[in-house]
Amino acid sequence: MAILQLEDGTTYTELEEISRRLEPLNVRLNYWKVGEDPELKALLNQSALDNEEKEQVLLELDHYFEHLKQTDGYQSRDLIALHPDIPNLDSLMAKFESCHTHADDEVRYIIEGEGVFGFVCPDGSQMELTIQPEEYINVPAGSEHWFHLTDKKRIKAVRYFITTEGWVPEYTETKIRIDSQKNSLLIG
């Protein structure tokens, strides 16, 4: 279940209210079922996946990809699996933990674990959205945002691309003032 925290500490957990709060940013959040296939569930319970296992998971979920290809023009997808045993995980994640934008939409379907997207609103306020399994998020091109893992440092997500070049972060100078992990505002 997604959790949205506003800068003033207000928290929302209902999809309808979260969607209403994300509307000015044109961020889309949906729930997509992973399914009950026992083999897929077993793969999702593994910390790491080899390339063959990743492709197996992607094939099981490709009905979503086919829909996105038809409706939004997506051309490719991959599966990212992050966990605490990955060498240099913190340095890998550091490039996404600062405010940035992308030339293309950032689209993820979380199938295991959790992560946090932070957003700078049109009025300059900030909010963070914790996303969990079976949640699909589309952050539009040009949206000022950041991303970090929760304390669990685990996530498996299908990423959808129109072009992979559009996902290169373009950093802004905006300071992040909210930290949902601590559930408080940062002084600064």
Please enumerate, by residue number, every residue annotated as part of a binding site: 100, 102, 106, 145
Binding residues for Ni(2+): 100, 102, 106, 145
**7 contacts: CB under 8 Å, gap ≥ 6:** 125, 126, 127, 177, 178, 185
Please give the helix or strand (H or E) that residue 96 lies within, else none: none
**69 contacts: CB under 8 Å, gap ≥ 6:** 75
Binding residues for Fe(2+): 100, 102, 106, 145
Distance of CA 150 to the CA centre of its chain: 12
Structure tokens at 127: 């909010």
Coil, strand or helix at 116: strand
Q: Tell me, what amino acid is at 122?
A: P
